[in-house]
């Protein structure tokens, strides 16, 4: 496989785990205020970093042999779905903050 793909994948997984931790913290904070706002900004930054890693992984997936490419694309698509699920959860939490 591509060593670069593996490196980006490892970095993505670490960022994804951080996003999960951050979302847990966000759900635990019932009050608004500056702390919640800072956390939301950190989460947005983490999403940007994760999306950048996914873009790099996609580029790397196109550069490997065809027989390995499909396997990498499948993993990449799963990561994209997971990230979109986290993004939806984040939007739900931010909507709650605006309503409440």
How high is the pLDDT of residue 52?
98
Provide mean pLDDT across the span 10-25. Answer: 98
**Long-range pairs for 43-48 at CB < 8 Å and ≥24 separation?**
43/19, 43/90, 46/15, 46/18, 46/19, 46/22, 47/19, 47/83, 47/86, 47/87, 47/90
| 28-82 pLDDT per residue, tens | 987 778 888 999 999 999 999 999 999 999 999 999 999 899 999 999 999 999 9
pLDDT surpassing 90 at residue 94: no
Q: Give the pair of three-digit tokens for residue 94.
A: 């931010």
């Amino acid at each position: 496989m591509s060593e670069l793909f593996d490196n980006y994948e490892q970095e993505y997984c670490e960022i994804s785990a951080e996003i999960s931790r951050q979302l847990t913290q966000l759900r635990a904070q019932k009050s608004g205020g500056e702390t919640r706002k800072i956390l939301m900004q950190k989460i947005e930054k983490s999403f940007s970093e994760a999306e950048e890693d996914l873009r790099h992984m996609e580029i790397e997936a196109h550069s490997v042999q065809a027989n390995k490419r499909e396997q990498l694309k499948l993993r990449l698509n799963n990561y994209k779905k997971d990230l979109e699920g986290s993004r939806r959860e984040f939007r739900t939490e931010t909507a709650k903050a605006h309503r409440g």
